[in-house]
Chains A and B, each alone.
Chain A
Amino acid sequence: MTDSKARTGGISRRTALKVGAGGLAAGSMLSMPALVHAQAEAIRIGHLTPMTGFLGSLGEWAVKGIQLAAEEINAAGGVMGRQLVVSSEDSINPDTAATKAQRMLERDGNAFLMGEISSASALAISQVAERNKRLFLALGPRSDTLRGKSCNRYMFCTDIPNTVMVNAVGSALLRDGMVEGKKFVTLTADYVFGHDLLRAAKYFFDANGATLVQDDLVATDVTDFSPYLLKIRQAQPDVVCLNLAGNQVTNFVKQYAEYGLPFPTVGFNLNTADAWAAGEGNLTGTWPTPWYHTLDNPDSRAFVERFQAKYGEVPENHAWIEYIALKIAAQAMEETQSTDSEKLVDYLESGAKFNILKDREAYFRKWDHQLIQEAYPFSVKAAGEAKDRFDIMALGQSVPGKDQDLEVIFPTAEQNPCSL
């Protein structure tokens, strides 16, 4: 824990120590009882997210987002008059994540758990949450399995699942005639998330008359893609399709530009931080995103302004999702006047609507606990069109269209084996 202060919402231990020491030095003990009182009353929330490893750069955004939300909620008087204290820790890997989750619930006095980006770690945490019968809001993971075979009563997923990411990009590809009769090769991150995404991609190819001529699995710590690039060239596909995650995306995009291969790329997964890290002129193709800071609606714009005022940079999609998720949790606690997980689960299952800074409000689907919401395909702006290095995406129309039911892009009850 190198900067526990930065990773903790509300009053950190260091601040408390400083205030305490200051109070003692001044010979006044008046500040102490107030502080102790406030901490005893605070609602504690355990927050796990990867801060190192191939998803580490995304986790940093997650911490910033949830911290901003906590500050805003606390500044407005907290939840039920109590302050929120969010303690963030590096989840590292599934084993460590599970151990930390257990400790956070058992020893640290957290009411419930939030966070995670890795689908594998989220799976581990969800099992701990279920055993302890405590709520776990899985914020960043996108694996369909989490909402499907591995769903449970205490886990709710806020990010867009793989199937929807595929459908969002797929709609743009179908429109551009890039699917039917075309030859695809895929590169897939070799862990639960990637396998899951590949499954969704294959389903999409089969349903729309495309052929998959080669699919290669890529270990998560791979930084050099040159042998894979040669295989792509040897396969001579019509489209290169990427089911990669985290740093893999950035490394691939840079090296694809380096080798100058002529085939168009599409990605079924992207976090904007990975795209920003790629460097000018390297990213091409069509990609999906759950949210982007240029989204044109008043609430989203206001959030971007507040985030910029605090951090001096525009928020990435993980900052956004952590921000809206804490607001969702706060709304649930306020409405139920409780931090009890059973009551919160019942509330979230009730179809309550949440403002998630998009045009349409979102809600959790009762039978598989995923947040039903819009998604966006985007293409990369041509050189010279971007205002700055963050302004690289030309957002397409939201999916589903304004007149369609939000659930049409989500897996149906037949496709999704979740039973709660």
Chain B
Amino acid sequence: MQFVFLMEQVVNGLVLGGYYLLIALGLSLIFSVGGIVNLSHGAFYALGAYISLEIARHLGFAGGAILSPVVVGCLGIAFERFILRRFYRADPILSLLVTFGLAMVGEQLIRIIWGAAPIPVSMPQAMKGPVMVGDFLFSRYRLFLLGVVVIALVAIWSLLNRTSFGRVVRAGIQQPDMVAALGIRLQPYMTAVIVLGVGLAALSGALFAPITIVHPAMGAEILTVAFVVVIIGGLGSFWGVILAALLVGVVRGVTIHFYPAAGAASMYVLMFAVLMFRPRGLLGERIEKFE
């Protein structure tokens, strides 16, 4: 029985990994194209949650979850156009500072608009409750969430690897000057990828709102986990992030099974262990800018 319980934690950890993946992927995407470590990613996540609740008042849960990333994505255009664009080739410390400042502005903005008190959110009644698959218990809502994550992953992978859009973006990451010499303006592509990253953060916010507390500091809370995942996976690596998210989910679940008090610390220990042996993360490439 003990083994079945442990396996249940492993499987739940994989599902949980999907949950971390959604937020970490956007962060990794923005890093891989712009070389910018976006510390304001959490603020977009929180905004996504709050805006989805506003929209859901009129259009229901689905309306909120679909439209909120679109709205936040539009904010992302302004974010890229007026802020990030100035920092692509600058010292990374500058973009860290500016996005950190933006994160604080975002959190206070939420406080001003929606107040400091947490906003109560319930999920649609139909999604509440457990699903039994064999001996394993799942939350119906999280299975739905997992489905969304898989769709998002496949879509993004196809976009980057199977379309002309993706070819330009990938070429732009490796050889921006060569792309420019070929007469392709990279700017709109950069904007599009940033919007995609920010939109993913907002989508995570909208989808996590029914299962975690919705309050102004929620972005700062999730950002730590997202960073741990991205760093373990290797900055900018698509498959690295996926591998790391699943690993973090499983390690956390198994740790809590045996020693619950260490549950929160386990992912940091994992990060430490990975960085000891692979400073660039599991599947990360060497990044000249940071060396």
Contact = CB atoms under 8 A, between A and B. Distances in A.
Contact of A273 (B5, B15, B118, B128): B118
Interface stretch (A77-85, A95-103, A256-264): A256-264
B8 interface: yes
Interface of A: 2, 51-53, 56-57, 60-61, 190, 216-219, 221-224, 226-228, 230-231, 233-234, 247, 250-251, 254-255, 257-261, 273, 276-282, 389
B258 to A, nearest CB: 10
Contacts of B125: 281
26 contacts: A53-B217, A56-B217, A218-B260, A218-B263, A221-B221, A223-B222, A224-B16, A226-B16, A226-B253, A227-B13, A228-B260, A230-B137, A230-B253, A254-B121, A254-B211, A254-B212, A258-B142, A258-B210, A259-B129, A273-B118, A277-B119, A277-B120, A277-B214, A280-B120, A281-B125, A389-B120
B122 A247 contact: no
B139 A258 contact: yes
B47 to A, nearest CB: 18
Given A219-B265, A279-B121, A258 B211 contact: yes
Nearest to B115: A60
Interface in B169-221: 210-215, 217, 221
B141 interface: yes
A279 B130 contact: no
Contacts of B256: 216, 227-228, 231
B150 interface: no
Nearest to A262: B130
Contacts of A51: 116
A254 B139 CA distance: 12
Contacts of A254: 121, 210-213
Nearest to B104: A2
A273 B139 contact: no
8 shortest A-B CB distances, which residue pairs? Answer: A277-B118, A219-B264, A260-B129, A216-B260, A227-B256, A279-B122, A217-B261, A279-B120
Contact of A251 (B5, B108, B213, B217): B213
> Number of contact residues on B: which range applies?
35 or more
A61 B213 CA distance: 17
B137 A255 contact: no
Contact of B8 (A218, A230, A250, A389): A230
B12 interface: yes
A187 to B, nearest CB: 8
A241 to B, nearest CB: 15
A340 B19 CA distance: 55
Given A227-B9, A231-B256, A277 B213 contact: yes
B117 interface: yes
A217 B125 CA distance: 30
B123 interface: yes
Contacts of A2: 108, 111
Given A230-B8, A277-B119, A52 B217 contact: yes
A260 B130 contact: yes
Contacts of A219: 261, 263-265
A64 to B, nearest CB: 10
Contacts of B141: 258
B41 interface: no
A247 B213 contact: yes
Among the interface residues B123, B252, B260, B261, which one has the most CB atoms of the partner chain A within 10 A? Answer: B260
A259 B263 contact: no
A266 B228 CA distance: 34
A316 B111 CA distance: 18
Contacts of B217: 52-53, 56
Interface of B: 5, 8-9, 12-13, 15-16, 19, 108, 111, 116-123, 125, 128-130, 137, 139, 141-142, 210-215, 217, 221-222, 252-253, 256-257, 260-261, 263-265
Given A226-B16, A227-B256, 17 more contacts: A56-B116, A219-B261, A221-B221, A222-B263, A223-B212, A223-B213, A224-B19, A226-B12, A226-B15, A227-B9, A227-B253, A227-B257, A247-B213, A254-B213, A259-B129, A280-B120, A281-B125
Nearest to B256: A227
Nearest to A253: B213
Contacts of B210: 254, 258, 279
A255 B129 CA distance: 10
Given A219-B265, A223-B221, A247-B215, A276 B120 contact: yes
Contacts of A250: 118, 213
A222 B261 CA distance: 10
Contacts of B139: 226, 255, 258-260
A270 B9 CA distance: 29
Nearest to B255: A227
A277 B116 CA distance: 11
Contacts of A60: 116-117
A349 to B, nearest CB: 36
A33 to B, nearest CB: 36
A22 to B, nearest CB: 25
B170 to A, nearest CB: 34
A260 B128 contact: yes
A336 B12 CA distance: 62
A354 B9 CA distance: 52
A226 B118 CA distance: 21
Contacts of B264: 219, 221-222
Given A52-B217, A219-B265, A273 B120 contact: no
B58 to A, nearest CB: 18
A227 B212 contact: no
- Give the one of A51, A57, A259, A276 with max B CB within 10 A: A259
Contacts of A257: 122, 128
Given A223-B213, A259-B139, A277-B213, A217 B260 contact: yes
Interface centre among A221, A223, A389 (most CB of B within 10 A): A223
A258 B256 CA distance: 19
A38 to B, nearest CB: 30
Contacts of B119: 277
Contacts of B261: 190, 216-219
Contact of B128 (A190, A258, A276): A258
B137 A57 contact: no
A218 B263 CA distance: 8
A392 to B, nearest CB: 10
